[in-house]
Each structure stands twice: as C-alpha cells, then as structure tokens.
C-alpha cells in the first residue's frame, strides 16, 4: 500500500490535559504557525511549521490556510439519530415531550428506507458541524443501527451506537421485550462491534422504560463481550426521578438502579446528570463511568443546570452532548456557548480551554478513546477540523480585535456554528468541505 502523507499548515490548537487538574497553561499546545502531518489515516507529526517543513520530502502536498485554526475533531457523547426530524418541538418538559413528539417520530424507523434516509442526513449534519465521533442512540428497531453504521463505515468514521432497549412505559408500537432486545442487540454486536472504527453500545433508554428483566439482560450483554459501551439517561428531570423511585422502591436512588443491574463501568456514559448528588458523583467516578453534559437540551426542556464543579471535585469524566432532538443544535460550538451560560448562572466560569477539553479530549476520555481521538498527538487517528476565522462578517470583524488565543477560542465558541467549520477530516480523508 503506497504511503499517503499530507501536511496542513495553519494555527494549531489542541488539549493535552484537563485544565481542572493541571491548570490552564499546562492543558493545551498552541502553534501560531503550525504544521500537522498525516500518514495513512494517522497523525505522524505536529509542531511549529518552521521546524517541521525542513524535515518533509520535497514532493509532499502542503495545504496552507490563512486566518484559520486546526483543532481535533469534536466528540458528541450523547445524541439521538431518530430525533433528527423533531428538533425544536414546542412546549413540553421531558416526559410529556417523549410521549407527544419523540415516540411517534421514532416509530417511523420501522421502515428501513426511512432509517437509511435519516442516517444520511444525520451524518452529514455531524460532519458539517465538525463532529467526527458520536455516541448515538438508535431507535428500538435494529435497522436504525444498521443504517447508521453502514453510512458511517462508508466514510471510515469512528462512531458508537446502539439499539434502544425499551419494554414498558412506552406505546405498544415502540416496545420490544426483554428477550427480543437481548437477541437483537447480540446480533448487532456480532455484526458491527469492532468492525473498522465502529463500536457498539448497549442502550436501555432509561430506567422507567425497562423492566428489571431487561436491565438484567443489558448487564449480561456487557459481561459477555469485550469493550462494549453502555449508554442511558440519568437524573435529567425532577418528575422523572420521582417516577424512578415509584418504579424501583427497593433501590436507594436512580443511580443505584443501574448499579444494581451492573451497568456502571469504564465505558458507561450517563446522559444529563443534572440532579445528581455528591455520593452519586463519587460512585460514578469510582466505577470509571462518565456523564454527558447536554446544556442546550437542559435549557430547552427546562431540566436544570448541570453542576460541573461538583463533577470536577470527584474527578468524574465528563463529555459534551448535543442531545438532538431535546438539544437544539448539532454544533458543539453552540453547545459550548450554552455550557458557558450554565456555569454563569451558577456563579462559576467555564474557561475556553476547559470548553475545548470538553469537546475533544474530555469526550475521548469519557469514551476511553484518548489513545485514538481527542488530540493531535502523533499516533492518533487523523480526525481534525479547519475552523475559518472569517466564516461570517461578524466573526471576522470580532476576531480582528482578539489579542490572545484564549480570546480567539472563546469568540469561536460564542459566535461560531456550522459555518465556522471549513473542512472536516476523518482518518485523514476530507469528509466535509463547506
């Protein structure tokens, strides 16, 4: 196989550690005039252009970008494929919103042609917004996952997804059974898990829509296969938490339900966690589990404010989630815009470098993929973005006033959106060009 080596020259920025642990200055690398070199889908070098250019062969192709910033690809740790068609649905909080909008929308995925159409739209939106890896909920129908993985494999994307397991407290047209969810999930695992850059996630929707029998089988799947993911929801809405107490009176609380059925672990990601207590954060951290922080959804559905400082206190892995379609944007830049406001409302600050960490390396750590994605370190997958400083007239004008990379980064995260993403690369291949 011939060597495919390419180089990209621009300002380059990536996270190398959590600012909450090492401090802001030690948390990132920035090259004002940088060079990124890729070989066969992986990053082989990154550093100052003046040092690296001399070491390159004369015939190498160098793409040079003016007024642009190269960053790692963004990582979305919580999103729903089947809700693409109902983003921005009016007027409800979580439980009514599910019944009024979500379940009818997800029922359409019984039709494989519909599933394939939406999978194509969904992946295009991810890539237009600079998201190169996502942890994705399918619907209850296995073809939702097949359609998504087929589209992702064509582009050699690193993606994680699973079929929703839901055998009660949902319309009859949208429930499976404990046994069928186990059998269907097992077949999908055999078909897709570890194929190329694809991974499978066992996916009970949330505790209220699964019987104890189904949760038991979800835990069994995790014990039967190596390196499976587990994704579900937790403590998003106060009414939901009360409902869980009624359904599982024998358990100490919401997290204890999942703990009892052996669903906590190093590849377990719990969406939202808005109303977690200290003890629950400690238990999540102790088991290596992670939280997906979904600010646009938490605002839109009136769920509450995620307590990031409490999670940091317990050294709990936190990634960022758009939570389409409770969330209102595929853009992780716009999601960070809202995350900053969540912190402001709690009297705390979210530095732009912590924001960058959440959208890249933090998400990779939440998914236990930091050796493969989330940074621009040599040896990792060549999943990266080119962000355009002149994407809109206002952005271009505002960035001319920026005096530091911290200010530039913060402006990108407050004024930026899908238009800011000039190019998206996955495994070294150009997968989106604005």
| pLDDT for residue 254 is more than 80 | yes
pLDDT category at 410 given cuts 50, 70, 90 is: very high
Q: What is the pLDDT of residues 383-395, one digit of tens each?
A: 999 999 999 999 9
198: nearest Cα among 147, 156, 142: 156
How many of the other CB atoms lie within 10 Å of CB of 403? 7
- Report the chain's mean pLDDT, rounded to a whole number: 96
pLDDT at 98: 86
pLDDT category at 155 given cuts 50, 70, 90 is: very high
When comparing pLDDT for 94 and 274, which is higher?
Answer: 274
Own/partner pairs, 406-410, CB within 8 angstroms, 24+ separation: 406/351, 406/352, 406/353, 408/69, 409/13, 409/352, 409/353, 409/355, 409/356, 410/352, 410/355
pLDDT category at 409 given cuts 50, 70, 90 is: very high
* Residue indicated by tokens 């960490």: 357
User: Residue range 283-302: average pLDDT?
Assistant: 96
Locate 240 and state its tokens: 């939901």
The sign of the dihedral angle between the CA atoms of 402, 406, 409, 411 is negative
Q: Looking at the domain that runs over 74-330, which CATH code has it been given?
A: 3.20.20.140
For the chain, where do the domains classified as CATH 2.30.40.10 start and end? 5-73+375-433
User: Residue range 391-406: average pLDDT?
Assistant: 97
Is residue 280 classed as helix, strand or coil in its secondary structure?
A: helix
pLDDT at 222: 97
Q: How far apart are CA 158 and CA 96, in angstroms?
A: 34
40 dihedral zone (left: phi>0; alpha: psi -120 to 50; beta)? left
When comparing pLDDT for 184 and 58, which is higher?
Answer: 184
Q: What is the pLDDT of residues 102-119, one digit of tens each?
A: 888 888 998 999 999 999
* Residue indicated by tokens 């960058």: 356
pLDDT at 94: 76
Q: What is the dihedral of CA 198, 380, 130, 400, to 10 degrees?
A: 170
Is residue 206 classed as helix, strand or coil in its secondary structure?
A: coil
* Residue indicated by tokens 């530039």: 408
For the chain, where do the domains classified as CATH 3.20.20.140 start and end? 74-330
pLDDT category at 196 given cuts 50, 70, 90 is: very high
Would you say 353 and 413 are in contact if contact means Cβ atoms under 8 Å apart?
no
How many of the other CB atoms lie within 10 Å of CB of 91? 8
pLDDT category at 330 given cuts 50, 70, 90 is: very high
| pLDDT for residue 3 is more than 80 | no
Q: How far apart are CA 408 and CA 352, in angstroms?
A: 9
CATH 3.40.50.300 fits 5-73+375-433, yes or no: no
């Amino acid at each position: 196989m011939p060597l495919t080596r390419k180089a990209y020259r621009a300002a380059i920025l990536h996270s190398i550690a959590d600012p909450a642990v090492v401090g802001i200055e030690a948390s990132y690398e920035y090259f004002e005039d940088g060079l990124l070199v890729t070989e066969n889908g992986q990053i082989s070098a990154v550093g100052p252009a003046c040092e690296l250019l001399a070491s390159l062969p004369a015939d190498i192709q160098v793409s040079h970008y003016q007024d642009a910033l190269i960053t790692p690809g963004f990582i979305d740790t919580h999103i729903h494929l089947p809700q693409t068609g109902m983003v921005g649905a009016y007027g409800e909080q979580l439980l009514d919103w599910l019944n009024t909008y979500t379940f009818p929308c997800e029922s359409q995925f019984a039709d494989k042609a519909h599933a394939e159409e939406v999978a194509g739209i969904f992946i295009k939106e991810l890539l237009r917004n600079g998201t190169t890896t996502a942890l994705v909920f399918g619907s209850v129908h296995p073809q939702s996952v097949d359609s998504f993985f087929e589209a992702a494999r064509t582009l050699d994307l690193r993606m994680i997804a699973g079929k929703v397991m839901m055998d009660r407290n949902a319309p009859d047209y949208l429930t499976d059974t404990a046994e069928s969810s186990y059998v269907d999930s097992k077949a999908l695992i055999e078909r897709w898990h570890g194929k190329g850059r694809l991974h499978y996630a066992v996916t009970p929707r949330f505790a209220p829509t699964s019987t104890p029998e189904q949760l038991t089988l979800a835990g069994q799947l995790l014990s039967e296969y190596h390196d499976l993911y587990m994704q579900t929801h937790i403590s998003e809405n106060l009414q939901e938490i009360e409902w869980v107490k009624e359904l599982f009176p024998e358990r100490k609380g919401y997290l204890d339900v999942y703990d009892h059925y052996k669903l906590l672990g190093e590849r377990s990601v719990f969406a939202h966690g808005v109303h977690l207590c200290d003890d629950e954060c400690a238990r999540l951290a102790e088991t290596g589990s992670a939280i997906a922080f979904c600010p646009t959804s938490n605002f839109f559905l009136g769920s509450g404010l995620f307590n990031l400082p409490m999670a940091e206190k317990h050294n709990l892995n936190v990634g960022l989630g758009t939570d389409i379609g409770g969330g209102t944007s595929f853009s992780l830049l716009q999601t960070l815009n809202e995350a900053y406001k969540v912190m402001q409302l709690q009297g705390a600050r979210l530095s732009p470098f912590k924001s960058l960490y959440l959208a890249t390396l933090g998400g990779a750590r939440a998914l236990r993929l930091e050796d493969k994605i989330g940074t621009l370190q040599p040896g990792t997958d060549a999943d990266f973005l080119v962000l355009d400083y002149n994407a809109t007239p206002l952005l271009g004008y505002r960035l001319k006033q920026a005096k530091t990379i911290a200010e530039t980064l913060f402006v990108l995260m407050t004024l930026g959106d899908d238009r800011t993403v000039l190019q998206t690369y996955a495994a070294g291949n150009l997968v989106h060009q604005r």
